[in-house]
Amino acid sequence: MEKTVKEFLNKLGLTDDEARLYLVLNQSGPLSVLNLSRQSGINRTKVYRIIESMQRAGIIEEIIDQHKKLTKAVSIDTLELLIKEQESKTKYLRDTFPTVSNLIAGQKAVSQPGTKVFFYRGAEGVRQQVWNTLKTKEELLGYSYRPLSELIGKYYEEWYEEWIKRNLKMRDIFSDSYIEGKKSLKQKIDSLDFKSRNIISRYIPSKMLNITHQMDIYNEIVSIYHWHEGEIFGVEIYNEKVANMQRQLFEMVWRMAGKLK
């Protein structure tokens, strides 16, 4: 039980020593600094510093009892209030992030003009690449190699929900490797993952175009993902001419592709 409470306090932002002091105060009631030091096993000088930090955080408070200064743990109701404050901060960060992201990206573009190339390694890097596509301004054009869910798992669902929420547009071409991937995941082939009018998919046989990696074209970016036999990497190319040429090639393949029969 103590371990569960300690983990909760750590998640709330307390250090191990702060959590230890809180648990001692919660079990023993108000204590002097000397007794708190003895019961917690933390030296007295350090206890003074920790108390100051915890008071600022609103986790403990000082009281005067018979002319003695004692320290006590705050009530459960106060902890709940602190949780609500953290929830409010998290909501603010989530709501403000798109604006801040655009501002930072704008500054970066000014300080680093011209072509940029970013490399990503591993599933974690590819997750970042996939999330970057949410910056699509007009329409994303893509070649689907295999179901992204087999690479990034449930994170794919988070990305898809955000894509729908932002009402973004996509045209997508898939081939036989994608169908094989769906079968290996025991998913319905005709579902094609997408349930939005803003996302249109077409099929092209591998004998016409063998799609061997994932590619997304959006804004001035060409984003390439590759995963095969344990090798996972991605590349983002920021160049308007490269992106425009890839768009032209995509339109040629799009006209050749059609519905899956």
The pLDDT assigned to 112 comes to 53
21 and 150 assigned to the same domain: no
163 and 54 assigned to the same domain: no
70 and 120 assigned to the same domain: no
Tens digit of pLDDT for each residue in 164-194? 999 999 999 998 888 887 776 655 444 445 5
Give the residue from 78, 103, 138 where a domain finishes: 78
Has residue 96 been placed in a domain?
Answer: no
The pLDDT assigned to 113 comes to 61
The pLDDT assigned to 103 comes to 56
Has residue 178 been placed in a domain?
Answer: yes
Average pLDDT on 16-33 reads 87
74 and 122 assigned to the same domain: no
The type of residue at 61 is E
Tens digit of pLDDT for each residue in 230-260? 788 889 999 999 999 999 999 999 999 988 7
Average pLDDT on 59-63 reads 81
Are the beta carbons of 143 and 173 closer than 8 angstroms? yes
49 and 122 assigned to the same domain: no
Average pLDDT, the chain: 83
58 and 147 assigned to the same domain: no
Provide the CATH number for the domain around residue 156: 3.30.870.10
Among 77, 90, 24, 28, smallest CA distance to 51 is for: 24
Has residue 90 been placed in a domain?
Answer: no
123 and 211 assigned to the same domain: yes
pLDDT band at 33 (very low <50, low <70, confident <90, very high): confident
19 and 134 assigned to the same domain: no
203 and 125 assigned to the same domain: yes
Number of domains, the chain: 2
The pLDDT assigned to 107 comes to 45
Give the residue from 50, 78, 106 where a domain finishes: 78
Count of other CB atoms within 10 angstroms of residue 210 = 11
Has residue 8 been placed in a domain?
Answer: yes
Provide the CATH number for the domain around residue 71: 1.10.10.10
Q: Which domain holds residue 229?
A: 115-256
Distance CA(87)–CA(239), nearest Å, equals 39
Q: Report helix, strand or coil for 158.
A: helix
Has residue 54 been placed in a domain?
Answer: yes
161 and 250 assigned to the same domain: yes
Has residue 109 been placed in a domain?
Answer: no
Tens digit of pLDDT for each residue in 62-113? 877 777 788 888 877 777 877 887 888 887 788 777 766 655 654 444 445 6
The pLDDT assigned to 133 comes to 94
- Give the range among 44-58, 154-168, 186-200 with minimum mean pLDDT: 186-200
- Give the range among 16-25, 150-159, 162-171 with minimum mean pLDDT: 150-159
Distance CA(185)–CA(123), nearest Å, equals 18
The pLDDT assigned to 244 comes to 95
126 and 237 assigned to the same domain: yes
Has residue 110 been placed in a domain?
Answer: no
Has residue 87 been placed in a domain?
Answer: no
The type of residue at 140 is L
- Burial of 234 from C-beta contacts in 10 A (0-12 / 13-18 / 19+): buried
156 and 243 assigned to the same domain: yes
Give pTM, 2 decimals. Answer: 0.56
